[in-house]
Protein backbone atom coordinates (compact mmCIF):
# COMPACT_ATOMS: atom_id res chain seq x y z
CA UNK A 1 0.00 0.00 0.00
CA UNK A 2 2.62 2.54 1.01
CA UNK A 3 4.51 2.10 -2.24
CA UNK A 4 1.82 4.27 -3.80
CA UNK A 5 2.91 7.30 -1.76
CA UNK A 6 4.59 10.10 -3.64
CA UNK A 7 7.45 12.27 -2.33
CA UNK A 8 6.21 15.52 -0.85
CA UNK A 9 7.71 18.86 -1.78
CA UNK A 10 10.09 19.89 1.00
CA UNK A 11 9.14 22.85 3.19
CA UNK A 12 11.26 25.72 1.91
CA UNK A 13 12.08 27.09 5.35
CA UNK A 14 13.00 23.67 6.73
CA UNK A 15 15.15 23.06 3.65
CA UNK A 16 16.85 26.40 4.28
CA UNK A 17 17.56 25.30 7.85
CA UNK A 18 19.31 22.22 6.50
CA UNK A 19 21.42 24.31 4.12
CA UNK A 20 22.40 26.64 6.93
CA UNK A 21 23.45 23.81 9.24
CA UNK A 22 25.56 22.25 6.49
CA UNK A 23 27.37 25.50 5.67
CA UNK A 24 30.87 25.33 7.28
CA UNK A 25 31.52 29.09 7.12
CA UNK A 26 31.86 30.55 10.63
CA UNK A 27 30.44 33.90 9.51
CA UNK A 28 27.09 32.46 8.36
CA UNK A 29 23.94 34.36 9.37
CA UNK A 30 20.53 32.72 9.75
CA UNK A 31 17.71 35.12 8.86
CA UNK A 32 15.32 32.48 7.59
CA UNK A 33 13.71 30.58 10.47
CA UNK A 34 10.83 32.40 12.16
CA UNK A 35 12.07 32.02 15.71
CA UNK A 36 13.09 34.85 18.03
CA UNK A 37 16.78 34.90 18.97
CA UNK A 38 18.67 37.19 21.32
CA UNK A 39 21.98 38.87 20.50
CA UNK A 40 23.87 35.63 21.23
CA UNK A 41 21.73 33.59 18.85
CA UNK A 42 19.84 31.85 21.67
CA UNK A 43 16.08 31.50 22.01
CA UNK A 44 15.92 31.89 25.79
CA UNK A 45 13.33 30.65 28.25
CA UNK A 46 11.64 33.81 29.52
CA UNK A 47 12.22 34.61 33.18
CA UNK A 48 8.53 34.56 34.10
CA UNK A 49 8.03 31.21 32.36
CA UNK A 50 10.97 29.73 34.24
CA UNK A 51 9.56 30.98 37.54
CA UNK A 52 6.11 29.62 36.70
CA UNK A 53 7.60 26.25 35.78
CA UNK A 54 9.30 26.07 39.16
CA UNK A 55 6.04 26.88 40.92
CA UNK A 56 4.20 24.30 38.85
CA UNK A 57 6.80 21.61 39.56
CA UNK A 58 6.42 22.22 43.26
CA UNK A 59 2.61 22.25 43.34
CA UNK A 60 1.36 20.00 40.53
CA UNK A 61 -0.16 16.79 41.87
CA UNK A 62 -1.49 15.07 38.74
CA UNK A 63 -0.95 14.68 35.02
CA UNK A 64 -4.48 13.52 34.28
CA UNK A 65 -6.47 14.94 31.40
CA UNK A 66 -7.89 18.44 31.55
CA UNK A 67 -11.08 19.63 29.82
CA UNK A 68 -11.48 18.60 26.18
CA UNK A 69 -11.53 22.24 25.02
CA UNK A 70 -8.82 23.26 27.51
CA UNK A 71 -9.06 24.89 30.90
CA UNK A 72 -11.58 27.74 31.30
CA UNK A 73 -8.95 29.73 33.21
CA UNK A 74 -6.68 29.60 30.14
CA UNK A 75 -9.54 30.71 27.90
CA UNK A 76 -10.30 33.65 30.18
CA UNK A 77 -6.67 34.75 30.56
CA UNK A 78 -6.04 34.67 26.82
CA UNK A 79 -9.34 36.37 25.98
CA UNK A 80 -8.49 39.21 28.34
CA UNK A 81 -5.00 39.57 26.85
CA UNK A 82 -6.27 39.60 23.27
CA UNK A 83 -9.66 41.32 23.59
CA UNK A 84 -9.25 43.39 26.75
CA UNK A 85 -10.70 43.12 30.25
CA UNK A 86 -14.25 43.91 29.09
CA UNK A 87 -14.42 41.16 26.45
CA UNK A 88 -17.95 39.81 25.85
CA UNK A 89 -17.98 36.66 27.97
CA UNK A 90 -21.48 35.67 26.87
CA UNK A 91 -20.40 35.59 23.20
CA UNK A 92 -17.07 33.78 23.59
CA UNK A 93 -16.32 30.16 22.78
CA UNK A 94 -12.72 28.98 23.04
CA UNK A 95 -10.54 25.99 22.30
CA UNK A 96 -7.03 25.16 23.47
CA UNK A 97 -5.04 24.03 20.44
CA UNK A 98 -1.71 22.57 19.41
CA UNK A 99 0.01 25.90 18.80
CA UNK A 100 -1.19 28.71 16.59
CA UNK A 101 -1.02 26.33 13.63
CA UNK A 102 -3.55 24.07 15.32
CA UNK A 103 -5.77 27.08 15.99
CA UNK A 104 -5.73 28.00 12.30
CA UNK A 105 -6.50 24.43 11.27
CA UNK A 106 -9.39 24.11 13.71
CA UNK A 107 -10.70 27.50 12.61
CA UNK A 108 -10.71 26.37 8.97
CA UNK A 109 -12.47 23.14 10.01
CA UNK A 110 -15.09 25.09 11.96
CA UNK A 111 -15.75 27.38 8.99
CA UNK A 112 -16.18 24.39 6.68
CA UNK A 113 -18.59 22.69 9.10
CA UNK A 114 -20.67 25.86 9.38
CA UNK A 115 -20.62 26.65 5.65
CA UNK A 116 -19.27 23.84 3.45
CA UNK A 117 -19.38 26.09 0.39
CA UNK A 118 -17.38 28.96 1.86
CA UNK A 119 -14.24 30.42 0.35
CA UNK A 120 -11.30 31.40 2.56
CA UNK A 121 -9.72 34.68 1.44
CA UNK A 122 -6.00 34.90 2.18
CA UNK A 123 -3.54 37.78 1.83
CA UNK A 124 -0.98 37.66 -0.96
CA UNK A 125 1.59 37.04 0.39
CA UNK A 126 0.89 35.16 3.61
CA UNK A 127 2.50 32.62 5.92
CA UNK A 128 3.06 29.67 3.55
CA UNK A 129 1.51 27.16 5.94
CA UNK A 130 -1.88 28.88 5.60
CA UNK A 131 -2.02 27.86 1.95
CA UNK A 132 -0.46 24.47 2.58
CA UNK A 133 -3.14 23.57 5.14
CA UNK A 134 -5.98 24.85 2.97
CA UNK A 135 -4.67 22.95 -0.06
CA UNK A 136 -4.31 19.75 1.99
CA UNK A 137 -7.89 20.18 3.22
CA UNK A 138 -9.04 20.73 -0.39
CA UNK A 139 -10.67 23.88 0.91
CA UNK A 140 -11.51 26.57 -1.64
CA UNK A 141 -9.48 29.73 -1.15
CA UNK A 142 -8.70 32.91 -3.01
CA UNK A 143 -5.91 35.43 -2.65
CA UNK A 144 -6.36 39.15 -2.13
CA UNK A 145 -3.58 41.59 -2.93
CA UNK A 146 -1.86 42.95 0.17
CA UNK A 147 1.75 44.05 -0.39
CA UNK A 148 3.22 46.51 -2.87
CA UNK A 149 6.69 45.23 -3.67
CA UNK A 150 7.84 48.60 -5.01
CA UNK A 151 7.04 50.66 -1.90
CA UNK A 152 7.29 47.68 0.50
CA UNK A 153 4.02 48.80 2.10
CA UNK A 154 0.40 47.65 2.27
CA UNK A 155 -1.36 47.89 -1.08
CA UNK A 156 -4.59 48.87 0.63
CA UNK A 157 -6.64 50.04 -2.35
CA UNK A 158 -5.90 46.78 -4.16
CA UNK A 159 -6.77 44.80 -1.02
CA UNK A 160 -10.16 46.48 -0.72
CA UNK A 161 -10.82 46.08 -4.44
CA UNK A 162 -10.17 42.33 -4.25
CA UNK A 163 -12.24 41.87 -1.09
CA UNK A 164 -15.12 43.51 -2.92
CA UNK A 165 -15.76 40.06 -4.42
CA UNK A 166 -16.26 38.39 -1.02
CA UNK A 167 -19.61 36.62 -0.64
CA UNK A 168 -21.80 36.23 2.46
CA UNK A 169 -20.49 33.41 4.63
CA UNK A 170 -16.96 33.59 3.21
CA UNK A 171 -14.05 33.82 5.64
CA UNK A 172 -11.40 36.55 5.31
CA UNK A 173 -8.09 35.65 6.95
CA UNK A 174 -6.30 38.69 8.38
CA UNK A 175 -2.96 39.02 10.18
CA UNK A 176 -3.63 40.73 13.51
CA UNK A 177 -0.22 42.44 13.62
CA UNK A 178 3.38 41.99 12.48
CA UNK A 179 2.34 40.60 9.09
CA UNK A 180 4.25 37.48 8.10
CA UNK A 181 6.17 37.61 5.76
CA UNK A 182 6.17 41.35 4.99
CA UNK A 183 6.16 43.21 8.32
CA UNK A 184 3.74 45.74 6.78
CA UNK A 185 0.64 46.33 8.92
CA UNK A 186 -2.76 47.91 8.45
CA UNK A 187 -3.35 51.21 10.28
CA UNK A 188 -6.24 51.38 12.73
CA UNK A 189 -8.14 53.53 10.22
CA UNK A 190 -7.65 50.83 7.59
CA UNK A 191 -8.89 48.18 10.03
CA UNK A 192 -12.06 50.26 10.29
CA UNK A 193 -12.51 50.23 6.52
CA UNK A 194 -12.02 46.45 6.48
CA UNK A 195 -14.62 46.10 9.25
CA UNK A 196 -17.09 48.18 7.22
CA UNK A 197 -16.55 46.00 4.16
CA UNK A 198 -16.88 42.68 6.01
CA UNK A 199 -19.98 43.89 7.81
CA UNK A 200 -21.60 44.97 4.55
CA UNK A 201 -20.68 41.70 2.83
CA UNK A 202 -21.75 39.38 5.63
CA UNK A 203 -18.29 37.80 5.67
CA UNK A 204 -16.54 36.29 8.70
CA UNK A 205 -13.14 37.66 9.76
CA UNK A 206 -10.56 35.16 10.97
CA UNK A 207 -7.60 36.86 12.59
CA UNK A 208 -4.26 35.08 12.94
CA UNK A 209 -2.57 36.73 15.91
CA UNK A 210 0.84 35.11 16.26
CA UNK A 211 3.02 38.05 17.35
CA UNK A 212 1.07 40.14 19.86
CA UNK A 213 3.56 42.25 21.81
CA UNK A 214 6.29 42.09 19.16
CA UNK A 215 5.22 45.19 17.21
CA UNK A 216 4.06 48.36 18.97
CA UNK A 217 3.08 46.89 22.34
CA UNK A 218 0.76 44.30 23.82
CA UNK A 219 -2.42 46.39 23.66
CA UNK A 220 -1.42 48.32 20.55
CA UNK A 221 -0.87 45.10 18.60
CA UNK A 222 -4.37 43.90 19.53
CA UNK A 223 -6.10 47.15 18.54
CA UNK A 224 -7.17 45.95 15.08
CA UNK A 225 -8.42 42.65 16.46
CA UNK A 226 -10.39 44.43 19.16
CA UNK A 227 -11.92 46.80 16.65
CA UNK A 228 -13.07 43.91 14.47
CA UNK A 229 -14.41 42.03 17.51
CA UNK A 230 -16.42 45.07 18.59
CA UNK A 231 -17.95 45.59 15.16
CA UNK A 232 -18.70 42.16 13.68
CA UNK A 233 -21.29 39.69 15.00
CA UNK A 234 -19.13 36.64 14.23
CA UNK A 235 -15.33 36.56 14.52
CA UNK A 236 -12.65 33.86 14.75
CA UNK A 237 -9.26 34.56 16.34
CA UNK A 238 -6.36 32.11 16.18
CA UNK A 239 -3.72 33.15 18.72
CA UNK A 240 -0.29 31.70 19.43
CA UNK A 241 1.81 31.78 22.60
CA UNK A 242 4.96 30.54 20.89
CA UNK A 243 6.59 33.91 20.31
CA UNK A 244 5.38 36.27 23.01
CA UNK A 245 5.84 33.67 25.77
CA UNK A 246 8.82 31.96 24.12
CA UNK A 247 7.29 28.47 24.50
CA UNK A 248 7.59 27.25 20.92
CA UNK A 249 8.02 23.55 21.68
CA UNK A 250 5.13 23.48 24.17
CA UNK A 251 2.72 24.02 21.22
CA UNK A 252 0.36 26.40 22.96
CA UNK A 253 -2.40 28.15 21.04
CA UNK A 254 -6.06 29.04 21.25
CA UNK A 255 -8.98 29.48 18.89
CA UNK A 256 -11.52 32.03 20.09
CA UNK A 257 -14.90 32.42 18.42
CA UNK A 258 -17.35 35.26 18.97
CA UNK A 259 -20.99 34.62 18.09
CA UNK A 260 -24.32 35.84 19.44
CA UNK A 261 -25.09 34.60 22.94
CA UNK A 262 -27.76 32.18 21.71
CA UNK A 263 -25.26 30.37 19.48
CA UNK A 264 -22.42 30.28 21.98
CA UNK A 265 -23.12 26.89 23.61
CA UNK A 266 -23.52 25.09 20.29
CA UNK A 267 -20.32 26.67 19.04
CA UNK A 268 -18.44 25.68 22.19
CA UNK A 269 -19.65 22.10 21.86
CA UNK A 270 -18.58 22.01 18.22
CA UNK A 271 -15.10 23.25 19.13
CA UNK A 272 -14.72 20.48 21.71
CA UNK A 273 -15.92 18.00 19.08
CA UNK A 274 -13.21 19.18 16.69
CA UNK A 275 -10.50 18.55 19.27
CA UNK A 276 -11.92 15.09 19.97
CA UNK A 277 -11.77 14.17 16.29
CA UNK A 278 -8.20 15.38 15.92
CA UNK A 279 -6.04 14.88 19.00
CA UNK A 280 -8.59 14.80 21.84
CA UNK A 281 -6.86 16.95 24.45
CA UNK A 282 -4.45 19.73 23.53
CA UNK A 283 -1.15 19.95 25.46
CA UNK A 284 -1.69 21.56 28.86
CA UNK A 285 1.78 22.39 30.15
CA UNK A 286 2.30 25.55 28.13
CA UNK A 287 -1.30 26.67 28.56
CA UNK A 288 -1.00 26.28 32.33
CA UNK A 289 2.21 28.30 32.41
CA UNK A 290 0.59 31.07 30.33
CA UNK A 291 -2.39 31.11 32.70
CA UNK A 292 -0.10 31.39 35.71
CA UNK A 293 1.89 34.23 34.16
CA UNK A 294 -1.17 36.20 33.07
CA UNK A 295 -3.03 35.85 36.38
CA UNK A 296 -0.18 36.34 38.87
CA UNK A 297 0.64 40.09 39.18
CA UNK A 298 4.35 39.55 39.88
CA UNK A 299 4.85 37.03 37.09
CA UNK A 300 2.84 39.15 34.66
CA UNK A 301 4.91 42.25 35.43
CA UNK A 302 8.13 40.28 34.89
CA UNK A 303 6.84 38.84 31.62
CA UNK A 304 5.67 42.19 30.29
CA UNK A 305 9.04 43.76 31.11
CA UNK A 306 10.93 41.06 29.24
CA UNK A 307 8.49 41.14 26.31
CA UNK A 308 9.11 44.88 26.06
CA UNK A 309 12.87 44.26 26.07
CA UNK A 310 12.40 41.86 23.15
CA UNK A 311 10.18 44.30 21.25
CA UNK A 312 12.48 47.28 21.72
CA UNK A 313 15.49 45.17 20.81
CA UNK A 314 13.95 44.30 17.44
CA UNK A 315 12.98 47.91 16.82
CA UNK A 316 16.55 48.93 17.55
CA UNK A 317 17.85 46.41 15.02
CA UNK A 318 15.38 47.69 12.43
CA UNK A 319 16.49 51.27 12.94
CA UNK A 320 20.17 50.29 12.84
CA UNK A 321 19.75 48.33 9.60
CA UNK A 322 17.75 51.12 7.96
CA UNK A 323 20.38 53.68 8.97
CA UNK A 324 23.23 51.51 7.66
CA UNK A 325 21.43 50.98 4.35
CA UNK A 326 20.63 54.69 4.07
CA UNK A 327 24.31 55.50 4.44
CA UNK A 328 25.54 52.84 2.01
CA UNK A 329 22.90 53.52 -0.65
CA UNK A 330 22.85 57.28 -0.16
CA UNK A 331 19.05 57.07 -0.40
CA UNK A 332 15.96 56.47 1.74
CA UNK A 333 14.67 53.54 -0.27
CA UNK A 334 15.29 51.12 2.61
CA UNK A 335 13.60 53.23 5.29
CA UNK A 336 10.66 50.82 5.16
CA UNK A 337 12.72 48.44 7.32
CA UNK A 338 12.34 50.79 10.28
CA UNK A 339 8.62 51.25 9.61
CA UNK A 340 7.77 47.55 9.47
CA UNK A 341 6.92 45.75 12.70
CA UNK A 342 7.52 42.33 14.19
CA UNK A 343 10.15 39.77 13.33
CA UNK A 344 9.96 40.00 9.55
CA UNK A 345 10.48 42.35 6.65
CA UNK A 346 10.37 41.61 2.97
CA UNK A 347 13.25 43.35 1.23
CA UNK A 348 11.87 43.19 -2.29
CA UNK A 349 15.01 41.42 -3.52
CA UNK A 350 14.78 38.87 -6.32
CA UNK A 351 15.42 35.16 -5.67
CA UNK A 352 18.66 35.57 -7.61
CA UNK A 353 19.80 38.39 -5.33
CA UNK A 354 18.88 36.32 -2.27
CA UNK A 355 20.94 33.45 -3.67
CA UNK A 356 23.87 35.81 -4.30
CA UNK A 357 23.84 36.84 -0.64
CA UNK A 358 23.83 33.19 0.40
CA UNK A 359 26.68 32.17 -1.90
CA UNK A 360 28.87 35.25 -1.43
CA UNK A 361 28.13 36.19 2.19
CA UNK A 362 26.66 33.09 3.89
CA UNK A 363 23.46 35.03 4.57
CA UNK A 364 20.40 32.81 4.65
CA UNK A 365 16.91 34.21 4.08
CA UNK A 366 13.78 32.88 2.41
CA UNK A 367 13.79 33.12 -1.40
CA UNK A 368 11.08 35.79 -1.43
CA UNK A 369 13.54 37.98 0.54
CA UNK A 370 11.74 37.67 3.87
CA UNK A 371 14.33 38.22 6.58
CA UNK A 372 14.03 37.59 10.30
CA UNK A 373 15.13 40.79 12.02
CA UNK A 374 15.59 38.87 15.29
CA UNK A 375 18.35 36.86 13.64
CA UNK A 376 20.58 39.96 13.61
CA UNK A 377 22.77 41.62 16.20
CA UNK A 378 24.91 44.76 16.32
CA UNK A 379 27.82 42.98 14.63
CA UNK A 380 25.87 41.39 11.79
CA UNK A 381 23.76 44.44 10.84
CA UNK A 382 26.63 46.09 8.88
CA UNK A 383 27.49 42.76 7.22
CA UNK A 384 23.92 42.32 6.02
CA UNK A 385 23.65 45.92 4.84
CA UNK A 386 26.79 45.60 2.72
CA UNK A 387 25.57 42.30 1.26
CA UNK A 388 22.20 43.79 0.34
CA UNK A 389 23.81 46.68 -1.50
CA UNK A 390 26.37 44.42 -3.18
CA UNK A 391 23.62 42.09 -4.43
CA UNK A 392 21.91 44.97 -6.21
CA UNK A 393 18.70 44.65 -4.15
Note if 208 is an active site residue: yes
Q: Across the beta sheet with 252-258, what order do the strands follow?
A: 92-98, 252-258, 235-240, 204-209, 171-175, 120-124, 141-145
β-bridge partners, 98: 252
Catalytic residue among 69, 94, 195, 210: 210
Spatial contact of 138 and 112, defined as CB atoms under 8 Å apart: no
- Let me know if 10 is exposed, middle or buried by CB neighbors in 10 A (0-12, 13-18, 19+): exposed
**Cα–Cα distance, 124 to 151 (Å, whole number):** 15
Strands 252-258 and 235-240: antiparallel
Catalytic residue among 127, 170, 238, 387: 127
Note if 167 is an active site residue: no
**Cα–Cα distance, 352 to 253 (Å, whole number):** 36
Note if 121 is an active site residue: no
**Cα–Cα distance, 244 to 306 (Å, whole number):** 10
- Phi, psi (deg, nearest 5) at residue 92: -95, 130
Note if 243 is an active site residue: yes
Catalytic residue among 30, 170, 208, 368: 208
Catalytic residue among 103, 170, 243, 282: 243
**Which residues are marked as active site?**
127, 208, 210, 243
Amino acid sequence: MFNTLKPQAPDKILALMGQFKADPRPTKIDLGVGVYKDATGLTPVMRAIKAAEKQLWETETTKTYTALAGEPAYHAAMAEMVLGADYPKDRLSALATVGGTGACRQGFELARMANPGCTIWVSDPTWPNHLSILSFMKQDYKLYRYFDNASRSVSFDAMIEDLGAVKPGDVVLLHGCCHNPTGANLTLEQWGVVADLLEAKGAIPMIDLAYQGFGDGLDEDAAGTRLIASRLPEVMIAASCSKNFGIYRERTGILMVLTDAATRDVTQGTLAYLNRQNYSFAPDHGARLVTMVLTDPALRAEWMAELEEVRLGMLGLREALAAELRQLSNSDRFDFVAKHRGMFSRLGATPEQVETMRVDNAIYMVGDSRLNIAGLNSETVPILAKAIIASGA
